[in-house]
Amino acid sequence: MNELPQQLVNGLLLGSMYGLVAVGYTMVYGIVQLINFAHGEIFMTGGFGALTVWLILPGGTSLWIALPLMIIGAVIVATTIAVGAERFAYRPLRGGPRLAPLITAIGLSLALQQAVWAWYPEAKSARTFPQIPGGPIELGPVTIQTGDVFLVLAAPVCMAF
C-alpha cells in the first residue's frame, strides 16, 4: 500500500506526457487533416538535436547555459525536419487519395528511426541527460524529480490553449 501514492504520481506524470503528445497530434490533424505517424519520430529527432548540442558543448558547461542551448537545438532540428517532411513528403500528396499520406507518414517514421540509428549507433542504449538543479522533491512517501514538476505544469497550459 506504500507504493500507491508514488504510482499515482507516476500515472499523473505519464498522463501529462501523453497529453502533450496528444496536443501535437490534434494540432497536426486539425490543421492539415493528416494523422502523422512520424509525429513521435520528429519529437525523437528533437531530443537527439538536444543531445548533439550537449555533446558539442565543452565539459563543465553550466547547466543554466547548456539547457537553453539544448532546447534551442531541439527546436531547430525538430522544426527543420517537420517543415521538410511537410514540404517534400506531404504537400505533393494533397488532393490525392487519403491513403497516400498515411503510407508516406509510416515510411517517414521508419526513415527517421533509421537515420537516427545511423547518426547515433549507440542510440539503442540509455543515455543520461543533465539533471535540472534542485534534486528530487520528497513529499512524504512520494518522490518527484524537479523536471517532472515542469512537465506537470506545462501540460495543462498547453492543453488549455
- Going residue by residue through the chain (161 aa), what tens digit of pLDDT does each one get? 688 999 999 999 999 989 988 888 888 888 878 888 899 999 899 999 998 999 899 988 888 898 899 999 999 999 999 999 999 998 998 888 988 988 999 999 999 999 999 988 877 777 666 666 777 888 888 998 888 888 888 888 888 87
Residue 75 lies in a domain: yes
Q: Is residue 101 part of a domain?
A: yes
Instruction: Identify whether 19 is part of a domain.
Output: yes
| CB of 38 closer than 8 Å to CB of 112 | yes
| pLDDT given at position 80 | 97
DSSP 57: S
Q: Are residues 86 and 152 in the same domain?
A: no
70 and 146 part of one domain: no
| Domain limits for position 52 | 14-130
For residue 97, what is the DSSP state?
-
Residue 118, Cα to own-chain centre: how many angstroms? Answer: 19
Angle between helices 39-56 and 4-32 (to 10 degrees): 110
In a domain, 25, yes or no: yes
In this prediction, residue 130 carries a pLDDT of 64
pLDDT at 147: 80
Judge whether 147 and 13 are in contact, CB under 8 Å: no
Same domain? For 82 and 148 the reply is: no
Together in a domain, 49 and 75: yes
Q: What is the pTM of this model?
A: 0.74
In a domain? residue 109: yes
In a domain, 8, yes or no: no
Q: What is the DSSP letter of 34?
A: -
In this structure, are 27 and 52 located in the same domain?
yes
